[in-house]
Structure 1
Amino acid sequence: MSYAATIAFAGNPNSGKTTLFNALTGARQRVGNYPGITVERKEGQFNFNDLKVNIIDLPGCYSLSAYSEEELVARKVLVDERPQVVVDIVDATKLERHLYLAVQLFELGVPVVLALNMIDDANKQGLRIDTARLSKLLGCPVVATAARTGLGKQELTEKALAHGRERAGKWEPLYISYGPDIDPALKTMSEKIEAGCFMTNRYPARWVALKYMEADEDVLGAGRLLGELHDELEKIVAETREHCLKTLNTVPEAIIADYRYGFINSILKQEIITREKTQEERIDISAKLDMILTNRVLGPLIMVGILYAMFFITFTVGEIPMGWLEGLFGWMAEMGTVLIPEGLVQSLVVSGIIEGVGGVMGFVPLIAIMFVMISFLEDSGYMARVAYMLDRVLRVFGLHGCSAMPFIISGGIAGGCAVPGVMATRTLRSPKEKLATLLTAPFMPCGAKLPVFLLLVAAFFSEHKAQVMFSITLFAWIMALLVSKLVRSTIIKGEPTPFVMELPPYRMPTLRGVVIHAWERAWQYVKKAGTVILAVSIILWAAMTFPGPPAEEVLQFEAQRQSVAAATLSEEQRETRLAEINNAEGQAAIRHSVAGRIGTFFEPVSQWAGFDWRTNIALVGGFAAKEVIVSTFGTAYSLGELDPEESTSLSSRLAADPTWNKYTALALIVFVLLYAPCFVTVVTMAKESSWRWALFAMTFNTALGFIFAVLIFQVGSLLS
């Protein structure tokens, strides 16, 4: 599909960029990764005055220097994909700091439109910004917006499209003087770059010179491949660096940053921002809230209370729609049994598909409710405060305050996903802190593990659902911290780095924003159930069906049925006896299958943790995706039901199974929480670190989980 225009959205983290992107594109989005890079790429489309507009949502970054993968990706998209215009979304309450990225966009030469977002928050703080004067001084359109309410959305789109047409793809780099110590060197380098056509097919010559002066590894690496001019440029940089150290006791990078901020201040001092006289007498609402919510004593207590409240609300509100879904899938299974003739096709549809996928889909209401609450906390700005408060705790265990976000994203506030959680570790500057966080983030109760926990809690701890789920999350944090301390004290030694993080202002999330964010996550869960889980469920059904019991064993069961039919029994006794024989035959069939033999093979060891052969089958499938554990139980207990009269829910089947008790359930909960991450997470861990560390995580986590599961089951068995 061709578009009238492609607009790139750039901006600092917490600038409201994603909110504005969602406001414009709604559900017309697609999400993936940039080619060869594990950074999320979001694109969306919308129609404006009969024009089709495509938006690329660049990763949030503070500059265009290659200090992080996000910054590098943002720069490559601008250079390689050449969007018609870049909309730089800045926080109007932090204009000086957020304009630093805008200045670098101007220096690159791309057509820029400035969106002064959160203008409503700025006005509440008594700030008045002269957008017309700012536009004139910067030489680009400036629009005041409030992404949460949609203010300025129409004007921003109009000006972005108009500016893109006006510039017609032409880049006009901004020239900033960097003083008598830097400018002569930049001039010489620019002339040599221009004459030698040195990367000028991608970047402006002076911009390449600046990147050399800033020791940008990406540009330097590309330059090394292009010949002798690279060595000349590096020689000029070395001489300039030595001169700056001798005369100014600083390096060129620091001088360049100072002059950029000087350029920003020279603009802002021209009566761009005015304040109401009463501003000094007022305390900002965010500061007032932080006095309570980040208080050393009250803050952590409130945080724990919020976490507990989430589980309480989830179970209280979600129990009714969850019952509806369970009833729906139960009805579908009954209809499948009635409409499809008995045989392999019926078994595949009922046991493999409906019972397998239905076991996972039944938890959609609970997952959706939890995602709504998590989205509300994220959009409100509270999540950043959680990281801020946790820094004091995390530092004790050799981690960093920024480790909190990967933990939270992975499921530290239950319902996340370890894949983006592991990817989020790249925000940690220290490689050792990043590695410790990466290894322990998969301990968190992600959205894939939640159905397993919800199933077991419903079966064995129905009177204390919220308390048990809350305890699982606390236990996950405790284990992540203890293991982090262990690895940081042994195999990944090193001093912790200082914590610096920008706290966004508190905002009242919009219903639209919360719904879109929650829908994106819930839809990913549903889509996974309808694709990956469906495929794995069918494979596991086949593995639990074939090759089947030997003919002589089938004949023995048939003989038992004939014996019951010939015996003098009441109708009720006969039906009960036949049901027992059918159940026994179903269990025998699964035991003789490929999956049953695998489960039985591990049973001599797994029985120490209370896991029988059916549980082993589910756990092996869990290596592919943790939701498969539930679907496997659904298939296994459908193929060999203990009591057909009580098959309305999987949890009731587990509770009725004499081989299960609450200690078996606790052992399984802990093992699933800790054992090897799913396959996709392992691949992501390898990309973010190495296969050596990813395989270490698989082995170590599984061993750790099994040790704890054995302890829980054995101690519980002794006490019972």
Structure 2
Amino acid sequence: MSIKIALAGNPNCGKTTLFNSLTGSNQFVGNWPGVTVEKKEGKLKGHKDVVIIDLPGIYSLSPYTLEEVVARNYLIGERPDAILNIIDGSNIERNLYLSTQLMELGIPVIMAVNMMDIVNKNGDKIHIDKLSKKLGCEVVEISALKGEGITEAAEKAVKLARNKTATPPVHEFATEVEAVLNSIEEKIGMQVLEEQKRFFAIKLLEKDEKITTQLKEVPNVSKEIAQIENEMDDDTESIITNERYIYISSIIKECYIKKSKGKATTSDKIDRIVTNRFLALPIFAAIMFLVYYVSITTVGTWATDWANDGVFGDGWKLFGLDVPSIPAVIESGLNAIGCADWLQGLILDGIVAGVGAVLGFVPQMLILFAFLAFLEACGYMARVAFIMDRIFRKFGLSGKSFIPMLIGSGCGVPGIMASRTIENDRDRKMTIMTTTFIPCSAKLPIIALIAGALFHGAWWVAPSAYFVGIAAIICSGIILKKTRLFQGDPAPFVMELPAYHMPTVENIARSMWERGYSFIKKAGTIILLSTIVVWFAQSFGFKDHGFGMVENMNDSILASLGNILAPIFTPLGWGDWKSAVAAITGLVAKENVVGTFGVLFGFGEVADNGSQIWGTLAGSMTAVAAYSFLVFNLLCAPCFAAMGAIKREMNNTKWFWIAIGYQTGLAYLVSLCVYQIGTLVTTGTFGIGTIVAFLLIIGFVYLLVKPNQPNQTAQVRKAASAK
């Protein structure tokens, strides 16, 4: 029978880094029973019978978010053999709150004090032996980032789990509270496991709804709770919380020596600049501009040009030798075996041209992923959430809404799932509706394609795409908060800001590879299948002699379907059937937009100089229409996988269609305004579409400046209290 060890700790304590180090590639991901919160497990290196469970990062076992509910239910219901409690040594006081609760569960606990390298660098001192004695559990020093002490911590956790030695809580609450707790423990008796009596007794004092419901038949408990609240002139939940912090303060006083009391740390000095009220936003904009500029426009473009022109183009040189391209090698092989023309067309013009057009952008994405991994690992992205909370709150959103959007920059699915950390249901729904406005990895090839083919690699296209997403989120927050569906104050936002530290190359490479591999895997499955379907639909059609292969693409099934849809997009500037089909196939997977263009415009063919024929695509639409096309694909309904995540998280068909309808409608209207106003500015063309665009902008501005509707619920409560 396998041994289960749960990793528990606050967000940003280094838990995920430790999990990756302990399990390596032996990880598997699923969902917790009954919910769609991601469940990460892995086999401990060197131990086939030891499973490490990575619990969601939580602040306490008094659940407010779905993440905290999942963590507590697992610890109470599944009862792992041991808990490896990771705490941030540079912020030990806040982290110990969860630790005191974990030790009340009656499960063996070993504490790992992480980020000791930062503690030592600051000149601070944590007396591990005293801390261990005070808490009543073994305490070890580790640095998950540098891999120091992690093997020792894991081995001690395994030993603890095998011995089944529970970790009893050593702290005591105030005399009056302790007496009531002892009384409750006796009364609940064998209604719960013997080692859990302390935890359940405290939860009854804290009036935890779930626990209270489970133990509602315990006699006279409510009477005793009311009595202690009357005697101490406070509610028992506040009393317990206060006593925990008194206990934690006594530990800190004896076990933690801070060298520079009242003196600003290096992180504090940096934060004075990067979180400054006036400088924070310009700095964030400059950093993201630089990230996208380097990833998409300069270094990323050079790498992608090498992939497109060499690997999937005309070949490249390696140590002075001419290396043929992948299409050339495949074509030679097919000719050698005498492959049928139709099959050769499918492989070269369908699969290679379509999938190759997508994979050619992998170098740009890997560079972007490396930048994002660095910003996340060094601690800056946590500051961005803090910065954006200040801005979002003015527009009716919480800073918690920005965290899913940061995650969504890699993939929209985990970004949408991350919205469950938002307690307020209205804010959570609004976040789900707007998270996918941030360009994810699947949209990067579209950005790079439009920037390269239509704007000749212009420096501003890629960064502007990111800020179009941010603007759409902020404007949506302002407008939606003025409707009855979303009105109300945003949820409060509390977040730990970890100390700045230099991430390791290994962690950045791991993060970059995980995101990149996910993209490549999708190219080998969903996009592969889609390009085959697109190739078939554009190669076959009905002619006078019946159904068969067609020489002219305009006679194909795809052209017939595209011509039905094309008029819908004519006001947006790209009303030809090829662009319409590409946008629709993007609903399956956003990368399909590039793959479809690859099939339809023959990106598999190269000119004599090795460069791809971007001009074929460029000739199909103007620069203004191209930017309109880009904006539509950035803002419209996401891929099927993300739609499925929206459906699961909304858990309501009506809300699902509201979200999809809002995203698609907003994308259409914004793209229409971009094309119509852009055409007026660049060519002086004025027509009915221009009038409609101006009316839409006037209406949009009105909705932005329109006063908020009074919160009816708040008014009812106010009136009731007045009575």
For the aligned pair, the TM-score class normalised by the smaller chain equals 0.7 to 0.9
Give, in whole Å, the separation in 2 of the partners of 1:553 and 1:101: 68
C-alpha contact (below 8 Å) 1:117/1:146 kept by paired residues: yes
**Residue matched to 2:460:** 467
State whether structure 2 residue 212 is matched by structure 1 residue 212.
no
Shift of 1:530: 1.4
Please report the RMSD computed on the Cα atoms of aligned residues, expressed in angstroms: 2.7
**Residue matched to 1:285:** 266
Q: How does 1:168-247 map to 2 (within 5 A)?
A: 171-174=166-169, 176-179=171-174, 181-195=176-190, 198-200=191-193, 204-220=196-212, 223=214, 230-233=215-218, 236-247=220-231
**Residue matched to 2:17:** 19
C-alpha contact (below 8 Å) 1:294/1:389 kept by paired residues: yes
Shift of 1:335: 4.1
Find the partner of 1:457 among 435, 442, 451.
Answer: 451
Find the partner of 1:410 among 397, 408, 411.
Answer: 408
**Residue matched to 1:569:** none
Give, in whole Å, the separation in 2 of the partners of 1:589 and 1:646: 32
Q: How does 1:15-94 map to 2 (within 5 A)?
A: 15-48=13-46, 53-94=50-91
Shift of 1:459: 0.3
Q: How does 1:483-498 map to 2 (within 5 A)?
A: 483-490=476-483, 491-498=485-492
* Cα 1:81–1:526 shift into 2, 3 Å: farther
* Cα 1:668–1:251 shift into 2, 3 Å: same
C-alpha contact (below 8 Å) 2:288/2:463 kept by paired residues: yes
State whether structure 2 residue 528 is matched by structure 1 residue 534.
yes
Report the secondary structure of 1:507's partner residue.
coil
Find the partner of 2:439 among 442, 445, 458.
Answer: 445
> C-alpha deviations, 1:199-227, integer Å up to 9, x for none?
439x7233233333323344456x2xxxx
Find the partner of 2:126 among 129, 132, 135.
Answer: 129
C-alpha contact (below 8 Å) 2:399/2:493 kept by paired residues: yes
Shift of 1:643: 9.4
> C-alpha deviations, 1:80-121, integer Å up to 9, x for none?
444332111101122221111111111001111111111121
Report the secondary structure of 1:448's partner residue.
helix
**Residue matched to 2:669:** 707
Shift of 1:11: 0.8
Report the secondary structure of 2:52's partner residue.
strand
C-alpha contact (below 8 Å) 2:136/2:169 kept by paired residues: no
Give, in whole Å, the separation in 1 of the partners of 2:78 and 2:356: 43
- Under a length normalisation based on structure 1, what TM-score does the superposition of the two structures give? 0.86
Give, in whole Å, the separation in 1 of the partners of 2:272 and 2:456: 38
Shift of 1:176: 4.9
Provide the identity percentage.
37
Amino acid at match of 2:275: T
**Residue matched to 2:625:** 664
Report the secondary structure of 1:462's partner residue.
coil
Q: How does 1:105-144 map to 2 (within 5 A)?
A: 105-144=102-141
**Residue matched to 1:626:** 590
Shift of 1:507: 0.9
Report the secondary structure of 2:344's partner residue.
helix
Give, in whole Å, the separation in 2 of the partners of 1:552 and 1:205: 78
Amino acid at match of 1:231: K
Instruction: Name segments (4+ residues, structure 1) moved above 6 Å.
Output: 552-555, 641-647
Give, in whole Å, the separation in 1 of the partners of 2:131 and 2:418: 35
Q: How does 1:306-705 map to 2 (within 5 A)?
A: 306-314=287-295, 315-326=297-308, 327-330=310-313, 331-340=325-334, 341-411=339-409, 416-464=410-458, 466-490=459-483, 491-551=485-545, 585-590=551-556, 593=557, 595-609=558-572, 610-638=574-602, 649=612, 651-655=614-618, 657=619, 659-689=620-650, 690-705=652-667
> C-alpha deviations, 1:601-653, integer Å up to 9, x for none?
112222222231112222222222211111112122239x9998799536443
**Residue matched to 1:566:** none
Give, in whole Å, the separation in 2 of the partners of 1:121 and 1:172: 28
Report the secondary structure of 1:495's partner residue.
coil
C-alpha contact (below 8 Å) 1:683/1:694 kept by paired residues: no
Give, in whole Å, the separation in 1 of the partners of 2:368 and 2:667: 26
Amino acid at match of 2:59: Y
Give, in whole Å, the separation in 1 of the partners of 2:14 and 2:438: 27
Shift of 1:306: 0.8
C-alpha contact (below 8 Å) 1:10/1:88 kept by paired residues: yes
Give, in whole Å, the separation in 2 of the partners of 1:248 and 1:346: 84
C-alpha contact (below 8 Å) 2:58/2:67 kept by paired residues: yes
Of 286-295 and 126-135, more deviation after overlay is shown by 126-135
Q: Which runs of 5+ in 2 are unaligned?
A: 314-324, 684-723
**Residue matched to 2:704:** none
Name the count of aligned residue pairs: 662
* Cα 1:537–1:220 shift into 2, 3 Å: farther
Give, in whole Å, the separation in 1 of the partners of 2:135 and 2:175: 24
Find the partner of 1:273 among 256, 259, 274.
Answer: 256
C-alpha contact (below 8 Å) 2:450/2:626 kept by paired residues: yes
State whether structure 2 residue 93 is matched by structure 1 residue 96.
yes
* Cα 1:643–1:504 shift into 2, 3 Å: closer
Report the secondary structure of 2:51's partner residue.
strand
C-alpha contact (below 8 Å) 1:30/1:43 kept by paired residues: yes
C-alpha contact (below 8 Å) 1:178/1:255 kept by paired residues: no
> C-alpha deviations, 1:58-95, integer Å up to 9, x for none?
11111122222212222233344443321111011222
Shift of 1:408: 2.1
* Cα 1:163–1:661 shift into 2, 3 Å: same
Amino acid at match of 1:158: E
Of 57-66 and 422-431, more deviation after overlay is shown by 422-431
> C-alpha deviations, 1:471-513, integer Å up to 9, x for none?
1111211111111110101131112344432211111111111
Shift of 1:282: 4.1
Of 337-346 and 144-153, more deviation after overlay is shown by 337-346
Amino acid at match of 1:211: K
Give, in whole Å, the separation in 2 of the partners of 1:51 and 1:241: 48
Shift of 1:305: 1.2
